[in-house]
Structure 1
C-alpha cells in the first residue's frame, strides 16, 4: 500500500501549512511507515493511505515518486 506522509523538515518545527512537504512511502501499515522514517529528523504531521482513484490522481502529479526504503 502507498502512504502519503505530510511532514516538516525539522523535528522541532511547529507545523505550518505553507512549509509542509509530502513524500510517498510503500508499506504495509502506518506503523511500518513510521518505522521506515524513524531515522530521519522530520516532524510527521499526518500519514494518509492512498489507494484506488485517489492513488490514480496522485500519480498524475509530476512530483509523484514513491520512496524506496
Structure 2
C-alpha cells in the first residue's frame, strides 16, 4: 500500500500549511510508516492511505517518488 505523509521538517515547528512537506512511502500499515520515519526529525501531521483515483492522481505528479520499507 502507498501512504502519503504530510510533515514539517522540524519536530518543534508549528504546523503551517505553506511549510508542509510530503513524501510517499510503500508499507503494509501506517504503523510501519511511522516506525520507518521515527529517526528523522519530522513533525508528522498526517499519514494518509492512497488508493483508487486519489493514488492515480498522485502518481501523475512529477514529484511522485516512493520510499519502500525493506522488511
Question: 2:61 — aligned with what?
Answer: 61
5+ unaligned residues in a row in structure 2: which ranges? none
1:36-58, Cα deviation, whole Å (9 max, x unpaired): 00110010000100011111110
TM-score w.r.t. the length of structure 1 is 0.95
Which consecutive segments of 4 or more residues in structure 1 shift more than 2 A? none
- Residue matched to 1:12: 12
Alignment coverage as a number of residue pairs: 69
CA RMSD of aligned residues (A): 0.8
TM-score of the pair, normalised by structure 2: 0.93
SS for the counterpart of 2:3 is strand
The alpha carbon displacement at 1:23 in A equals 0.2
- Where structure 1 has 5 or more consecutive residues not aligned to the other structure, the ranges are none
